[in-house]
């Protein structure tokens, strides 16, 4: 545990409490919005706009963080904005305010994500990168399991009292803000010339990094983004369970179970990844994903779904933190936040496209095709990662 420094502990606890607050609201958000008059179409527009703000801002704020060498301020402001946005959504029911608060929450995520991941990379040695990102994801996912559990327990005793949950979620948000006060920048960055200080970072200048990045970065991210283009949102997994006749309570229980598996395995998987190689662990994760998605395509019982979601939690443990750890090794240290931010933003956009395609395929041909296509693409990406010359020997950045 020597690799887990004080700063990594703080960031991990921050993510834990923030996910408690966010995931507490995730299952009831669409239900609440419909209860105040939002149609399905408007909900779709709201979520699409909010996700677009988050996606496009990740690389931008990552680039600013790299330029000035500051990380902590972005993390503090990002989590603070997300914390105050939640009660706004129920204090002011007007659609304009709801759009504002939801967008503010996702903007907070966009501001903090890349600088936070850059701190994790900066705090870890190359040999410990997998376990550090794995530990952080593990703590984050513990929160993702606790949050829905609180919502499930509360709604059991207080049926349909959704607004109160928004107020309850504000308290872990306060803890998050207080914890971030313990973060400080170790390195203030290189001294810039007057001309460099005058140069502003354009909002879309983040995408210029693609040309400036290392060949290994482009090779790795290209493969991961192609996979993301067919890896739709987890909402489709929930819809598949509903299609199979699983009731709402059991769906939430299975969702919590999957998060617990993810939380318990992410850290040990990260340790193993540092020993056997991040590439090997990523490929193992994609093999599991392919098998799980082919299984879900034909699943129709609770027992089957529990087994499949156990392995789905393992898939996330083998890929989520591992992918960021691997990416951080393919870029120059001075560009860490930009590299991670650009990938994270593009990944979100690809997921949005994947979800749109999945919805269309589901509507036209049925759910089986959605999951079989995604499973097949996972195996194509495995072949790409195995035989890409630029990724055969992925040397860590210094």
Instruction: Specify the pLDDT at position 374.
Output: 95
Does 294 score more than 90 pLDDT?
yes
3-state secondary structure 195-234: HHHHCCCCCCHHHHHHHHCCHHHHHHHHHHHHHHCCCCCC
Instruction: Specify the pLDDT at position 103.
Output: 86
Nearest of 38, 45, 119, 24 to residue 78 by alpha carbon: 119
**Does 189 reside within a domain?**
no
Greater pLDDT, 46 or 74? 74
- Model confidence over 275-285: pLDDT tens digits? 999 999 999 99
Does 7 score more than 80 pLDDT?
yes
CA pair distance 253, 237, nearest whole angstrom = 14
- CB of 112 closer than 8 Å to CB of 140: no
Q: What is the mean pLDDT of residues 381-394?
A: 80
Those residues with Cβ within 8 angstroms of residue 238's Cβ, 6 or more apart along the chain or in another chain: 251, 255
Those residues with Cβ within 8 angstroms of residue 86's Cβ, 6 or more apart along the chain or in another chain: 21, 25, 101, 105, 166, 169, 170, 173
Greater pLDDT, 54 or 213? 213
CA distances from 51 to 27, 168, 339, 394 (A): 17, 24, 19, 32
Does 329 score more than 50 pLDDT?
yes
3-state secondary structure 62-122: HHHHHHHCCCHHHHHHHHHHHHHHHHHHHHCCCHHHHHHHHHHHHHHHHHHHHHHHHHHHH
For Cα atoms 374, 357, 239, give the angle at the middle one, nearest 5 degrees: 75
Instruction: Specify the pLDDT at position 28.
Output: 73
Measured in degrees and rounded to the nearest 5, phi and psi for residue 64 equal -65, -40
The rounded mean pLDDT for the chain is 86
**Does 20 reside within a domain?**
yes
CA pair distance 372, 365, nearest whole angstrom = 12
**Does 398 reside within a domain?**
no
What tokens were used for 356?
């749109």
**Does 99 reside within a domain?**
yes
CA pair distance 53, 57, nearest whole angstrom = 6
Q: What is the mean pLDDT of residues 124-140?
A: 89
- CB of 7 closer than 8 Å to CB of 119: yes
**Does 28 reside within a domain?**
yes
Measured in degrees and rounded to the nearest 5, phi and psi for residue 359 equal -60, -40
Q: What is the mean pLDDT of residues 84-96?
A: 82
Instruction: Specify the pLDDT at position 327.
Output: 93
CA pair distance 106, 85, nearest whole angstrom = 9
Q: What is the mean pLDDT of residues 256-272?
A: 92
What number of CA atoms fall less than 13 Å from residue 228's CA on the CB side?
20
Domains in the chain, number: 1
- This prediction has a pTM of 0.81
Instruction: Specify the pLDDT at position 396.
Output: 40
Supply the CATH number for residue 36's domain. Answer: 1.20.1250.20
- Model confidence over 368-377: pLDDT tens digits? 999 999 999 9
Residue 331's domain comprises 6-181+207-392
**Does 200 reside within a domain?**
no
Does 308 score more than 70 pLDDT?
yes
**Does 162 reside within a domain?**
yes
With a pLDDT cut of 70, the percent of the chain lying above it is: 91
**Does 234 reside within a domain?**
yes
């Amino acid at each position: 545990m020597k690799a887990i420094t004080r700063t990594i502990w703080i960031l991990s606890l921050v993510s834990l409490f923030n996910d408690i607050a966010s995931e507490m609201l995730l299952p009831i958000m669409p239900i609440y919005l419909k209860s105040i008059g939002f149609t399905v179409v408007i909900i779709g527009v709201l979520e699409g706009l909010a996700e677009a703000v988050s996606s496009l801002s990740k690389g931008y704020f990552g680039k600013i963080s790299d330029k000035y060498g500051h990380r902590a301020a972005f993390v503090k402001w990002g989590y603070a904005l997300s914390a105050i946005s939640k009660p706004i959504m129920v204090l002011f029911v007007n659609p304009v305010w709801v759009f504002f608060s939801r967008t503010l929450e996702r903007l907070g995520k966009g501001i903090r994500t890349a600088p936070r991941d850059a701190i994790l990379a900066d705090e870890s040695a190359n040999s410990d990168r997998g376990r550090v990102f794995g530990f952080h994801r593990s703590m984050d996912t513990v929160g993702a399991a606790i949050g829905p559990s609180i919502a499930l327990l509360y709604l059991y005793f207080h049926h349909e009292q959704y607004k109160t949950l928004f107020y309850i979620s504000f308290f872990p948000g306060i803890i998050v803000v207080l914890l971030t006060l313990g973060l400080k920048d170790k390195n203030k960055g290189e001294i810039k010339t007057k001309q460099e200080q005058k140069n502003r970072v354009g909002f879309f200048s983040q995408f210029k990094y693609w040309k400036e990045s290392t060949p290994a970065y482009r090779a790795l991210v290209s493969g991961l983004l192609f996979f993301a283009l067919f890896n739709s949102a987890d909402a489709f997994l929930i819809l598949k369970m509903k299609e199979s006749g699983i009731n709402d309570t059991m769906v939430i229980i299975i969702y919590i179970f999957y998060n617990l598996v993810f939380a318990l395995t992410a850290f040990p998987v990260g340790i193993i990844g540092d020993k056997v190689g991040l590439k090997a662990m990523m490929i193992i994760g994609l093999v599991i994903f392919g098998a799980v998605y082919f299984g879900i395509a034909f699943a129709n019982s609770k027992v089957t779904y529990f087994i499949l979601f156990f392995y789905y939690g393992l898939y996330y443990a083998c890929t989520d933190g591992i992918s960021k750890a691997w990416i951080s090794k393919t870029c120059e240290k001075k560009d860490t936040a930009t590299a991670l931010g650009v990938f994270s933003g593009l990944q979100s956009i690809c997921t949005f496209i994947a979800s749109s395609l999945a919805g269309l395929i589901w509507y036209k041909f049925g759910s089986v095709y959605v999951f079989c296509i995604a499973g097949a693409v996972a195996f194509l990406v495995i072949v790409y990662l195995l035989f890409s010359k630029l990724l055969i020997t992925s040397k860590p950045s210094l």
